[in-house]
A and B are shown apart, each in its own frame.
Chain A
Amino acid sequence: DTGVSQDPRHKITKRGQNVTFRCDPISEHNRLYWYRQTLGQGPEFLTYFQNEAQLEKSRLLSDRFSAERPKGSFSTLEIQRTEQGDSAMYLCASSLTDPGGVDFGPGTRLLVL
């Protein structure tokens, strides 16, 4: 068990470009979350998967954002037509059904120029 992994760790892109991030949860974890964190703030919930089903999307997740979790394993978060306001740390987390802890990955730092 190597924990939650995310790829890439850093991404610099130009405004208007599309970016995709990948998250590999802990293998036996059926829940997967995406969070966004801006400097000096706590993480904000974006979306949640139980197995392959996306059960909740935050209003923070505009139409430019899409997330998938095919086959209930890894997940991808895509941002289309990036804007400078999308610059943030994107955190993935996974957990088992209650009770228990929520394990976070190292995050992907996105900078949109």
Chain B
Amino acid sequence: AQKITQTQPGMFVQEKEAVTLDCTYDTSDPSYGLFWYKQPSSGEMIFLIYQGSYDQQNATEGRYSLNFQKARKSANLVISASQLGDSAMYFCAMRERYKLSFGAGTTVTVRA
């Protein structure tokens, strides 16, 4: 069964606008972590933001925020004030115990 689902294969966003990337997950473990990574065309996986399952508040890191809805098993990434450099593939991932499982990714293209 798929543990991480990203339903948006690709998205276009206008520069300076916000974009929301969807992610739903499936786990029966009460303790888990949710991650978002950015992968530009160079291939490097860049860590963006982390949310622990017991964290009460949504995580934020600069222009990135994670909209964590635990009951719905949803962990959407919001990128505010998009920049051309944000064009990349974005992966949602979940860690249960030690293993990180990834979704299929969403390609974001920022238009000038």
Contact = CB atoms under 8 A, between A and B. Distances in A.
Given A42-B103, A43-B102, A56-B99, A106 B33 contact: no
A21 interface: no
Interface residues of A, number: 26
User: Which secondary structure dominates chain A's binding surface?
Assistant: strand
B47 interface: yes
B104 interface: yes
A28 interface: no
Contacts of A61: none
B35 A101 contact: yes
A41 B104 contact: yes
A74 interface: no
Interface residues of B, number: 23
Interface stretch (B14-22, B37-45, B80-88): B37-45
Contacts, number: 59
Contacts of A102: 35, 47, 93, 95, 100
B105 A48 contact: no
Contacts of B100: 33, 35, 45, 93, 102
A98 interface: yes
Contacts of A98: 31, 33, 95, 98
Given A41-B105, A93-B100, A107 B43 contact: yes
Given A35-B100, A103-B47, 4 more contacts: A42-B103, A44-B102, A48-B99, A106-B43
Nearest to A104: B45
A99 interface: yes
Most buried by B among A41, A45, A101: A101
B98 A50 contact: yes
Contacts of B44: 104, 106-107
